[in-house]
Amino acid sequence: MGSVISCNDVSIRYITGDLKAIGLKEYVMRRITGNYKVREFWADKHVTFSLESGDMLGIIGTNGAGKSTLLKAISGIMEPKEGTISVNGRIAALLELASGFDGDMTVKENAYLRGAMLGYTRAFMDEMYEEIIAFAELEDFQDRPFRQLSSGMKSRLGFAICCMVDPDIIILDEVLAVGDGAFRKKSGDKMREILNSGVTGILVSHSIDQVKELCNKVLWLDKGDQIVFSSDVNKVCDAYSEYLISKTLPASSEDIDNMASEYGKRVAEEKAKKDKKETKKLEGILAKGTKNTAIEAALDIIENNAPEMLDMHEVGEWRRKNKG
């Protein structure tokens, strides 16, 4: 099977300190005085990976690793300076959902405009509009100016419009779920439904658990460098978590193995420590505290370790009653 997305030795460059940054006057002055210098900044360096149909790639890395830039290149907004990107299929890119809307237009007009930008047809929008608004739960706001919406509502609309198509390829930049409690669950469910439909996808996330849950391949970038591209998601994610604590990058695949097991140990240790601490706390409370605080502590422990034993509703009631 041919690859759906393949990046071959892709490097993306920004230029700083040139004309735009300094203005025409400054440019002429610096040219005359010989002070004119252009600084290059490579947001991505020699990134290579390929995805088959149905693959879900998680891109991890700290801020400034070049994740978003890479997504922009794949969705065709930017062109790599070196290397090639080939994409087979229709892309739905969800990059910063709430931005790019027009504050003075109504919700309905914005929905149509966004749909048009994403390449939908008018007929398609006419057909899907009701569904989009219903999904975003904005039925009562359709004719309001967009700027009157809360930021949660804005991303809800953005999410709903993007997700109403069945794309071949989906690109997500930290937008797996949007909005507050109930909608968060709903959008998360919708996203999982799309992801499980066999779509090929790329997900940028700071949540390691999300990457572990959803992805079967992982790409780790650091300051534009490709640290590793692998299908052993758990191992790489653990190594990355270890890196976040120890701040040392792996130099080889053995390093990654070591870091992953290091992290595993660390997690186990941490858990043991936490359990110990809680036991101590409980003991202390039992020794000199009141009945209620003891129950409280016991509930905490059970909730952390075996939540299925509790009826959370009743626990909540009890906590409310005994507060203050």
Residue 199 CB neighbour total at 10 angstroms: 19
Nearest-5° angle of CA 84, CA 85, CA 86? 120
Closer to another protein by Cβ: residue 106 or 216 = 106
Question: Sign of dihedral through CA atoms 158, 161, 164, 166?
Answer: negative
Tokens of 220: 């780790």
Q: Of residues 48, 84, 89, 96, which one binds another protein by CB under 8 A?
A: 96
Closer to another protein by Cβ: residue 25 or 320 = 25
Report yes or no: 231 and 216 within 8 Å, Cβ to Cβ.
Answer: yes
| Count of residues interacting with another protein (CB under 8 A) | 34
Q: Of residues 51, 57, 95, 236, which one binds another protein by CB under 8 A?
A: 95
Could you say whether residue 64 binds another protein (CB under 8 A)? Answer: no
Closer to another protein by Cβ: residue 27 or 318 = 27
CA distances from 257 to 47, 61, 130, 134, 232 (A): 21, 18, 50, 47, 11
Closer to another protein by Cβ: residue 112 or 183 = 112
Residue 258 CB neighbour total at 10 angstroms: 14
Q: Of residues 122, 273, 280, 319, which one binds another protein by CB under 8 A?
A: 122
Q: Which stretch binds another protein (CB under 8 A): 23-31, 253-261, 283-291, 311-319?
A: 23-31
Could you say whether residue 125 binds another protein (CB under 8 A)? Answer: yes
Q: Phi, psi at residue 92, to the nearest 5°? A: -115, 115
What is the binding site for another protein (CB under 8 A)?
14-15, 19-20, 23-25, 27, 72, 75-79, 91, 93, 95-96, 99-100, 102, 104-105, 109, 112-113, 116-122, 125
